[in-house]
Chain A
């Protein structure tokens, strides 16, 4: 029997529906751009030249200064590209990506060791002394933490004000390039959204699924747990933890994730309660299928859509939570983040618009992009709002 062309599957149709909407396209394009910027940040904004040619020949200071985080991100990105265009079941490919990610992370930690002391001035001074025949620099030749100490006159500079040093978005009080800091801050913005929401999703789906399928006493206990967690104010908990355990991005992710799962659990529970009554689930039970098959093949995929919608809004709120914390001065100390840059803008005595407008705009656009995607996804999975497909049901007149 020859394989016949299959009709597009449900998830493909939903993806098509989402991509029909211009809001979702814009949102996805912005997130894709941010992802690229985050992955290739050391190539885009770096004080260390990409390539130099001196008496010993060509070498790359950029490569020697890559951190384990940089190499892990680059590795994960290219692995994802390879797997995206390779055959195989999506789930299997996703699992192998996760496995590869762990491997790359471990290898990076062991093998990549940048010099402990970073001297940003060395290449600029060497170039000024004429030691290099040729230098290839990154588009923005300033690192995020390069405070330009070799220049005597650094400090606040408005965009494109100085003749010999080009700063597209100006510099902050320490003399660091704002655009460079923003580029490196995309990593925190993206990762806190994904990881915090990921943690919340895993807990929410498992607990909600158990509550919905088994109902009864499991449901009653689970719902009380949900109510307890809904009563915890995330921001105050974060403030407390930062005060006691110091500032850590991973702690932030964990706490945001641990306090925001209750919404997902409610969604999954409601979906499972509804799906259990559906005839196709009853039919699957009556056909004698096993419990894992009923739960994971027949119920979970049909209940995932509203959870994904909620998750895309959840990513946006996680980004906002981190920005809020950084704005309050409780974020990371030296690593750039958009909220922390806003905080700097407020603290200086004069109003330096470039320090507020650019990071603020980036936060706004990112949160807006996730909301656009969430809304498009919601419209696509909602059978009542499907426009222009086939004739609408007429009976709705009552």
Chain B
């Protein structure tokens, strides 16, 4: 169907190619996965096939052969007019971010019909409308008649991604390129979208090029897979074979870095389990304000009646999908957001009764690490200042030199070199910045660190490093972690107990192994079944292969 040969992409004014000598072929009706970490050039490859690379790039060299009714064409030598007939018509594309891929000022139906009438000019208005409704039904949007008239802002992320798929499919392309179509979505919606793509592929007999960073997704739906590393294709083959017996060192590293394959964490010395934090009936309600005088007309219950406790050396995972209130919970415990009700007790002292001064002192014991490594450090300050300023505020260390010594020790614990101190945040990668974020929390010698999605912006190999650092710190310092995440693999790997949240309410709390083996709440069961797991799919595939 599609044969890419020796594709090379470079930036203008830069000798080092970003994608070098990539060759692969996709058969008719096949689901081909392109896997790699960020910066590996997998998205660039897709953009080059569609010829929608940015102006900053030189025209790519190599060949991209696409088979059609009129024979086989090299897309890279086609003129712009010819490409218009390919894009959307013979090759459809879906992007990662469903929130920004739709034009907010047109209705869903208008946007799909525009694509259709461009590629099928022979259709009249009535036929185009019928076909659009048909394709909306095909992607399983409930009530297509109503959705047709609706504007994108009324749809959820998953529904928008369905609309994007409908738009890509409306002209019945032979090939669908999906660039991380589920990365921005919750795991339960991811499972539905993947199932949908797989079903449509079988029904229409089209080929799919699926770009992803998640081996779980590959194991679940992929026929064949190609692994990219720094612009080069290092390995390709049947998905099952590559995952079970990776041939290349890099593939092996990637698969070993999956949380389910990581070496077990050092155990925490069993001692007296003293309870550090008790949260009772915590509520955070945001008022919905209306009118000139901004009167509250309603409340959004972001966190509603959540209770748990946390003892030294324990990891409590807070799991939930986006909008479940897990981040708000973390911030309310720290009083970064004022709770509406309930109590938070640290070593028996109620946090909510503290005045400003006492709260500042108490914050020393409860620290936080954030999700986005890009915005979690002040770009104007050196790492030295970032690390020593909190120490000075809490009178830790007698003078500046002693604080520098402490900062160096902490940097060593998060495996960063001493010259880090004199640098600025922009000089570090995402993983390094996340480690600096952990170091900033550690310099105050806290008892509890709240980790808010600390690994979700990171590649899987970097995630593995961070998880191991956290596990080691927990064992060494008897640190308690409140680990907020949506990633089940990480939860199973790191946490002792888990708390499942949905729409601000607690669904379930219990020992991690217990909850995963015997989930009590329906929602937990639903969530767990949606998680793509490498081992499970391999086992199933092997079993069906023997039959």
Report the bound CA distance from A301 to B11 in whole Å: 34
B350 within 8 A of A: no
> In the complex, which of the residues A220, A289, A302, A396 contacts B393, with contact meaning CB atoms closer than 8 Å?
A289
In the complex the two chains form, is B370's CB within 8 Å of A283's CB?
yes
Which of B363, B375, B377: most chain A Cβ within 10 A? B375
> In the complex, which of the residues A6, A284, A288, A398 contacts B97, with contact meaning CB atoms closer than 8 Å?
A398
Contact with B along A288-321 (1 / 0, CB 8 A): 1110010001100110000000000000000000
Contact with A along B26-50 (1 / 0, CB 8 A): 0000000000000000011001000
In the complex the two chains form, is A398's CB within 8 Å of B100's CB?
yes
In the complex the two chains form, is B43's CB within 8 Å of A394's CB?
yes
A9 within 8 A of B: yes
Residues of A within 8 A of B153 (CB): none
Which chain B residues in 138-154 approach chain A with CB under 8 Å? none
> In the complex, which of the residues B11, B100, B294 contacts A391, with contact meaning CB atoms closer than 8 Å?
B11
In the complex the two chains form, is B422's CB within 8 Å of A7's CB?
yes
A395 within 8 A of B: yes
In the complex the two chains form, is A298's CB within 8 Å of B95's CB?
no
| Given known contacts A297-B381, A394-B44, A398-B101, A10 and B424 CB-to-CB distance under 8 angstroms | yes
| Extra inter-chain contacts (11) besides given A6-B422, A283-B437, CB under 8 Å | A1-B404, A5-B422, A279-B371, A283-B440, A284-B378, A286-B368, A293-B393, A297-B389, A298-B378, A397-B179, A398-B97
In the complex the two chains form, is A388's CB within 8 Å of B13's CB?
yes
Contact with A along B399-418 (1 / 0, CB 8 A): 00100100000000000000
A280 within 8 A of B: yes
Q: Which residue of A lies closest to B425 (CB)?
A: A280
In the complex the two chains form, is A288's CB within 8 Å of B393's CB?
yes
Q: Which residue of B lies closest to A291 (CB)?
A: B356
Report the bound CA distance from A4 to B371 in whole Å: 31
In the complex the two chains form, is A1's CB within 8 Å of B47's CB?
no
Report the bound CA distance from A391 to B367 in whole Å: 35
The 10 closest A-B pairs by CB, nearest first: A287-B390, A398-B95, A279-B370, A288-B363, A279-B376, A288-B360, A280-B378, A10-B380, A4-B422, A286-B368
In the complex the two chains form, is B95's CB within 8 Å of A397's CB?
yes
> In the complex, which of the residues A9, A220, A286, A290 contacts B336, with contact meaning CB atoms closer than 8 Å?
A286
In the complex the two chains form, is B96's CB within 8 Å of A395's CB?
yes
Residues of A within 8 A of B481 (CB): none
Report the bound CA distance from A253 to B61 in whole Å: 61
> In the complex, which of the residues B47, B364, B380, B444 contacts A397, with contact meaning CB atoms closer than 8 Å?
B47
6 cross-chain CB contacts under 8 A:
A280-B377, A282-B370, A283-B377, A288-B359, A288-B361, A289-B389
Tell me how far the C-beta of B102 lies from the nearest C-beta in chain A, rounded to whole angstroms.
10
Which chain B residues in 304-330 approach chain A with CB under 8 Å? none
Q: Which residue of A lies closest to B95 (CB)?
A: A398
A96 within 8 A of B: no
Which of A6, A279, A285: most chain B Cβ within 10 A? A279
B168 within 8 A of A: no
Which chain A residues in 245-280 approach chain B with CB under 8 Å? 278-280
Report the bound CA distance from A288 to B179 in whole Å: 42
Q: Which residue of B lies closest to A277 (CB)?
A: B375
In the complex the two chains form, is B393's CB within 8 Å of A278's CB?
no
Contact with B along A20-45 (1 / 0, CB 8 A): 00000000000000000000000000
Report the bound CA distance from A309 to B368 in whole Å: 34
In the complex the two chains form, is B367's CB within 8 Å of A4's CB?
no
B427 within 8 A of A: yes
B54 within 8 A of A: yes
In the complex the two chains form, is A287's CB within 8 Å of B376's CB?
no
Q: Which residue of A lies closest to B443 (CB)?
A: A287
A90 within 8 A of B: no
Q: Which residue of B lies closest to A5 (CB)?
A: B422
In the complex the two chains form, is B370's CB within 8 Å of A395's CB?
no
Residues of A within 8 A of B362 (CB): 288
Residues of B within 8 A of A282 (CB): 331, 336, 368, 370
> In the complex, which of the residues B375, B380, B381 contacts A278, with contact meaning CB atoms closer than 8 Å?
B375
Residues of B within 8 A of A298 (CB): 378, 381
Contact with A along B353-389 (1 / 0, CB 8 A): 0000001111110111011100111111110000001
In the complex the two chains form, is B367's CB within 8 Å of A286's CB?
yes
Report the bound CA distance from A286 to B449 in whole Å: 11
Report the bound CA distance from A398 to B423 in whole Å: 33
B244 within 8 A of A: no
Q: Which residue of A lies closest to B18 (CB)?
A: A391
B52 within 8 A of A: yes
Report the bound CA distance from A286 to B363 in whole Å: 6
B79 within 8 A of A: no
B15 within 8 A of A: no
A61 within 8 A of B: no
Q: Which residue of B lies closest to A4 (CB)?
A: B422
Report the bound CA distance from A288 to B359 in whole Å: 8
Residues of A within 8 A of B375 (CB): 278-280
Report the bound CA distance from A302 to B380 in whole Å: 7
Report the bound CA distance from A283 to B380 in whole Å: 15
Tell me how far the C-beta of A227 lies from the nearest C-beta in chain B, rounded to whole angstroms.
14
Report the bound CA distance from A229 to B412 in whole Å: 55
| Given known contacts A4-B419, A7-B424, A288 and B394 CB-to-CB distance under 8 angstroms | yes
Report the bound CA distance from A8 to B422 in whole Å: 10
> In the complex, which of the residues B364, B378, B401, B419 contacts A288, with contact meaning CB atoms closer than 8 Å?
B364
B178 within 8 A of A: no
B334 within 8 A of A: yes
A392 within 8 A of B: yes
Report the bound CA distance from A283 to B371 in whole Å: 12
In the complex the two chains form, is B47's CB within 8 Å of A280's CB?
no
Which chain B residues in 264-285 approach chain A with CB under 8 Å? none
Which of A1, A280, A290, A297: most chain B Cβ within 10 A? A280
Report the bound CA distance from A309 to B375 in whole Å: 22
Residues of B within 8 A of A220 (CB): 294
Tell me how far the C-beta of A293 lies from the nearest C-beta in chain B, rounded to whole angstroms.
7
Report the bound CA distance from A4 to B427 in whole Å: 16
Report the bound CA distance from A287 to B380 in whole Å: 18
Contact with B along A371-398 (1 / 0, CB 8 A): 0000000000000000010011011111
Report the bound CA distance from A326 to B273 in whole Å: 80
In the complex the two chains form, is A286's CB within 8 Å of B96's CB?
no
B70 within 8 A of A: no
Residues of B within 8 A of A6 (CB): 382, 422-423
Report the bound CA distance from A388 to B423 in whole Å: 22
> In the complex, which of the residues A5, A9, A391, A395 contacts B424, with contact meaning CB atoms closer than 8 Å?
A9
Residues of B within 8 A of A396 (CB): 54
Report the bound CA distance from A280 to B425 in whole Å: 11
Report the bound CA distance from A1 to B422 in whole Å: 12
B348 within 8 A of A: no
Residues of A within 8 A of B372 (CB): 279
Residues of B within 8 A of A395 (CB): 43, 96-97
Residues of B within 8 A of A397 (CB): 43, 47, 52, 54, 95, 179
